[in-house]
C-alpha cells in the first residue's frame, strides 16, 4: 500500500548540505529538460541527484521505505512516496510500487542512482511502456553490459583486451571445479549480473571453488535476483583502474579520464582517486579509446564506467562495464569540472554532448574515501549499526566535498549499505589532495556507530600508498595480521600522553570552577595545585606525568620529556585543536569516566588511556580486576545481520574451522566457523533470525 506525502522542504542547511560542490559546471536556464524527476534510490546518491535537479530547476520526487520516512533525501525532495517496508525486495526493488508512485506524482523521468534498479532492464522496459524517460542508457545496452558473459563477448568483438576465462554460465559446483582446473588457479567466481563486489569470490583450490560457488550464487540471488555465475582467470596483484565514459543519442562518446580504485576490501572499493599515479598519457589514451569503442559498440547513451584490471607492466584487461553512475564519480567531476548527473539528464532529454574529447581536462587531483559504519579491526570492516548521536562533516575546510544522506539522529540499519558518506578532497596536486584528506578525516565527527576513519587515515599516509605502490591486495599485504590501528612513534606517544593529561587537568579545573561558583551552605575551598602528578596507562604501560598550566598552555613532563600543549580548551566542542610544541593536532575526546578512563581519537585511531592522580593510582592497585570471558567454547556474532543457515544441532561433533552457520549482513554472506573441536551443547539461533553484534549463536561443551 502506498502512502503519499507532499513536502514543503524544512531542514537545517548544515545537516542537508550533503554535497558541497567542487565542480565548475554551468547550468543553462533556457535549456529545458524535465519538470519533475523521481529518484528511485535512497541515501547519499538520492541526495546527490536532488542537488543537481534543484540547480537545474527540476522538481523532485523521493521514494522511501517505511523506516526511511524521516531520511534526508525525503526531506530534500519536493514530494515523497512510501513504497513499502524496510526489506529492499519490498520497497526499493518493488517495481510495481515504484511505477504506481510515478503515475501518482506524474514524474516525467526517473533517475535510478546506483544499485537497486539502476541496471535492471525490466525496470527500464516498464518505464518505456509508460512513456517515462529512464535517465540512463537504452535497454539493449543495460542488457548487453549487465550480463558479464555477454559483455565479455561484445568486448572481444570491439577489440577490447579481455581476461582469459569461461564465457558460459556455470551450472553447478562440480562444473565450477572442472572449469577452474582448466583455466588454472587462482580463479575469480563472479555473479553474471553482479556488481559492487557482491557475488564475487577468489578460489585457489577445489574446496574454495565449491564454497565460492555456493556463497556467490546465494549473494547474487539475494542482491540481483539472478544466481548465474561465470569463472575467469584471476589476475594476481592487479590495479583496478576504470574509465568514465559519456555518450549521447547522436553517436557521440567521450572518455573522461580514469579513476584509480585499487584500495579494496572484499572486492569493494574503499579509497579512490583521479587521475591514477600509475598511468602514463599513452596508456590512458589507449584505455580511453577502448572504453569508447565498447560504448559505441552498444550505442551507449549516458554516463557509464568501463572497469579494467591493470598489471605491473601496464597491460590492461576489460573487467566489466557499469551502465550507471558510479559511487566514486565525484573525483571525476572534480578534475574535469563536469556535473555527471546534469550530463545524464541532458542526454536523456535528447541533447547532444556539449564537449569534444580535446575539451576534457585533468585539472588537479581528487581523492575519495568511503566512510562506512564498520569496525575496521574485523576483516577490514564488518558492519556496525546504531543511531548517530552526533554528526559533523568537515565541510568548513578548503577543498572538501561530502556526499551524504544522513544527519544527527539518523539510523544505520541492517537493511541497507553501511556507507555513511563519501568524503572527497581536491587539490592542485596529489600531495595537497592527500593532506586535505588527512585534515578532513581528523575533523570528521561521527558518534553512535563504529566507523572506519582510522583505516582510511592509515591508508592515505602509508608510504606505499603515497609512492603509488598499490594493488587490489594492498590491505592484506600491508596488514597481513589484520588492521590494528595507528602505530605510535615515541614522539607521537608522548604527544598523546601530554594531550590526554592536559585534558584531564582541564576537566578538573572546570569542575573546580563550577564548585567555587555553586551556592552552598558549606564554603568549598579548593587548594591551588601548582603541579599535577599523574599516572597514565596506555597499552598496558604506565607512565609518570607531571602537568602544570599557565593560561591556555600546559607544560607537561612525560617520562622525563617536556612538552608544551596549547589550546583554547573548549571542552564542550567535539573537536579540539591543539598545538604540541608547535605541531598542530586535531583530537576528539570521545568519552571520559570518573574512574579515569578516557577515549581519545588521535591521528585517526581511538586510544583508551587511564589517567589517575598519583594517590588514586596507588589506591587503585588494591582494586580487583574483572576476569575475562572464556570465549573458546562459544560462538558470538561478529556483526549485526540475519541468520541464513544453521549447519549444526545440539549433540553434533564439530571440528575446528567447520562452518556452523552463515550470517548475511548488508547483502554479503559470512561463514561463521568453530573455534575449536568439540560437541555442540546448544544452538541459540535459527535461519531467519536477526542477530546483533555479540549475540550468542552456538555453545560447545
Which residue has 542547511 as its cell numbers?
13
Active site residue 701: no
- Partnered with residue 392 across adjacent β-strands are 445
Contact indicator for 229, 176 with CB cutoff of 8 Å:
yes
Distance CA 163, CA 234 (A): 8
Q: Which sign, positive or negative, has the C-alpha torsion 443, 444, 446, 449?
A: negative
Instruction: Please name which of 682, 462, 507 lies closest in space to residue 598, comparing C-alpha atoms.
Output: 507
Burial (Cβ within 10 Å: 0-12, 13-18, ≥19) of residue 658: middle
Report CA-CA distances (Å) from 642 to 66, 227, 420, 664, 700.
19, 20, 21, 5, 22
Q: E strands, 266-361, where?
A: 268-274, 303-310, 316-322
Task: Single out the catalytic residue among 260, 273, 320, 328.
Answer: 320
Instruction: Please name which of 139, 108, 86, 93 lies closest in space to residue 35, comparing C-alpha atoms.
Output: 108
Name the pairing type of β-strands 445-447 and 532-538.
Answer: unpaired
Name the pairing type of β-strands 653-654 and 365-372.
Answer: unpaired
Which residue has 523532485 as its cell numbers?
60
Q: E strands, 275-315, where?
A: 303-310
DSSP class of residue 268 equals E
141: three-class secondary structure by DSSP: helix
Residues in the chain: 701
Burial (Cβ within 10 Å: 0-12, 13-18, ≥19) of residue 241: buried
Mind telling me the catalytic residues?
320
Amino acid at each position: 500500500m502506498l502512502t503519499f506525502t507532499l513536502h514543503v522542504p524544512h531542514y537545517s542547511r548544515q545537516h542537508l548540505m550533503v554535497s558541497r560542490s567542487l565542480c565548475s559546471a554551468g547550468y543553462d536556464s533556457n535549456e529545458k529538460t524535465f519538470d519533475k524527476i523521481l529518484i528511485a534510490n535512497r541515501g547519499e546518491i538520492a541526495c546527490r541527484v536532488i542537488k543537481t535537479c534543484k540547480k537545474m530547476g527540476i522538481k523532485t520526487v523521493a521514494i522511501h521505505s517505511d523506516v526511511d520516512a524521516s531520511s534526508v533525501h525525503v526531506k530534500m525532495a519536493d514530494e515523497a512516496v512510501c513504497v513499502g517496508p524496510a526489506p529492499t525486495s519490498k520497497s526499493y526493488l518493488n517495481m510495481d510500487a515504484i511505477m504506481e508512485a510515478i503515475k501518482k506524482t506524474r514524474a516525467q523521468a526517473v533517475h535510478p542512482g546506483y544499485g537497486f534498479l539502476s541496471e535492471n532492464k525490466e525496470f527500464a522496459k516498464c518505464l518505456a511502456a509508460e512513456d517515462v524517460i529512464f535517465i540512463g542508457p537504452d535497454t539493449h545496452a543495460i542488457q548487453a553490459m549487465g550480463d558479464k558473459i555477454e559483455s565479455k563477448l561484445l568486448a572481444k568483438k570491439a577489440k577490447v583486451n579481455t581476461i582469459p576465462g569461461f564465457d558460459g554460465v556455470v551450472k553447478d559446483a562440480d562444473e565450477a571445479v572442472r572449469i577452474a582446473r582448466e583455466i588454472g588457479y587462482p580463479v575469480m567466481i563472479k555473479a553474471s549480473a553482479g556488481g559492487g563486489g557482491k557475488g564475487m569470490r577468489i578460489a585457489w583450490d577445489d574446496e574454495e571453488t565449491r564454497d565460492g560457488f555456493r556463497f556467490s550464487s546465494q549473494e547474487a540471488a539475494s542482491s540481483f535476483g539472478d544466481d548465474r555465475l561465470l569463472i575467469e582467470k584471476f589476475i594476481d596483484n592487479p590495479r583496478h583502474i576504470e574509465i568514465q565514459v559519456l555518450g549521447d543519442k547522436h553517436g557521440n562518446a567521450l572518455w573522461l579520464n580514469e579513476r584509480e580504485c585499487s584500495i579494496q576490501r572484499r572486492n569493494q572499493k574503499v579509497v579512490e582517486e583521479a587521475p591514477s599515479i600509475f598511468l602514463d598519457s599513452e596508456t590512458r589514451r589507449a584505455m580511453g579509446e577502448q572504453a569508447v569503442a565498447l560504448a559505441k559498440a552498444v550505442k551507449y547513451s549516458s554516463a557509464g564506467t568501463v572497469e579494467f584490471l591493470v598489471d605491473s607492466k601496464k597491460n590492461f584487461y576489460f573487467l566489466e562495464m557499469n551502465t550507471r553512475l558510479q559511487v566514486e564519480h565525484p573525483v571525476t567531476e572534480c578534475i574535469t569540472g563536469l556535473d555527471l548527473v546534469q550530463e545524464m539528464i541532458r542526454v536523456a532529454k535528447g541533447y547532444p554532448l556539449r564537449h569534444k574529447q580535446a575539451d576534457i581536462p585533468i585539472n588537479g587531483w581528487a581523492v575519495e574515501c568511503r566512510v562506512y559504519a564498520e569496525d575496521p579491526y574485523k576483516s577490514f570492516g564488518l558492519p556496525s549499526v546504531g543511531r548517530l548521536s552526533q554528526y559533523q562533516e568537515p565541510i568548513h575546510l578548503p577543498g572538501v566535498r561530502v556526499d551524504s544522506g544522513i544527519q544527527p539522529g539518523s539510523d544505520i540499519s541492517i537493511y541497507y549499505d553501511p556507507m555513511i558518506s563519501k568524503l572527497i578532497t581536491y587539490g592542485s596536486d596529489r600531495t595537497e589532495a592527500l593532506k586535505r584528506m588527512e585534515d578532513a578525516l581528523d575533523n570528521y565527527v561521527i558518534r553512535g556507530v563504529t566507523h572506519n576513519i582510522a583505516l582510511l587515515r592509515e591508508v592515505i599516509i602509508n608510504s606505499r600508498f603515497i609512492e603509488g605502490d598499490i594493488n587490489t591486495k594492498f590491505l592484506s599485504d600491508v596488514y597481513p595480521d589484520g588492521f590494528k590501528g595507528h602505530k605510535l612513534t615515541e614522539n607521537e606517544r608522548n604527544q598523546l600522553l601530554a594531550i590526554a593529561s592536559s585534558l584531564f587537568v582541564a576537566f578538573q579545573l572546570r569542575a573546580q570552577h563550577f564548585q567555587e561558583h555553586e551556592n552552598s551552605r558549606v564554603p568549598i575551598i579548593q587548594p591551588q595545585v601548582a603541579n599535577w602528578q599523574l599516572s597514565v596507562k596506555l597499552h598496558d604501560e604506565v607512565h609518570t606525568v607531571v602537568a602544570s598550566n599557565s593560561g591556555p598552555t600546559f607544560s607537561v613532563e612525560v617520562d622525563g620529556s617536556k612538552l608544551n600543549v596549547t589550546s583554547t580548551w573548549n571542552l564542550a566542542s567535539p573537536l579540539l585543536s591543539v598545538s604540541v610544541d608547535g605541531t598542530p593536532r586535531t583530537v576528539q575526546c570521545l568519552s571520559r569516566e570518573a574512574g579515569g578512563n578516557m577515549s581519545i581519537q588521535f591521528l585517526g585511531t581511538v586510544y583508551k588511556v587511564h589517567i589517575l592522580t598519583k594517590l588514586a593510582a596507588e589506591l587503585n592497585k588494591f582494586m580487583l580486576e574483572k576476569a575475562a570471558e572464556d570465549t573458546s567454547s562459544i560462538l558470538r556474532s561478529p556483526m549485526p545481520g540475519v541468520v541464513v543457515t544453521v549447519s549444526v544441532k545440539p549433540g553434533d561433533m564439530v571440528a575446528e574451522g567447520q562452518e556452523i552457520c552463515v550470517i548475511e549482513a548488508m547483502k554479503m554472506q559470512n561463514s561463521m566457523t568453530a573455534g575449536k573441536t568439540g560437541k555442540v551443547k546448544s544452538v541459540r539461533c535459527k535461519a531467519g533470525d536477526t542477530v546483533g553484534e555479540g549475540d550468542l549463536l552456538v555453545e560447545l561443551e
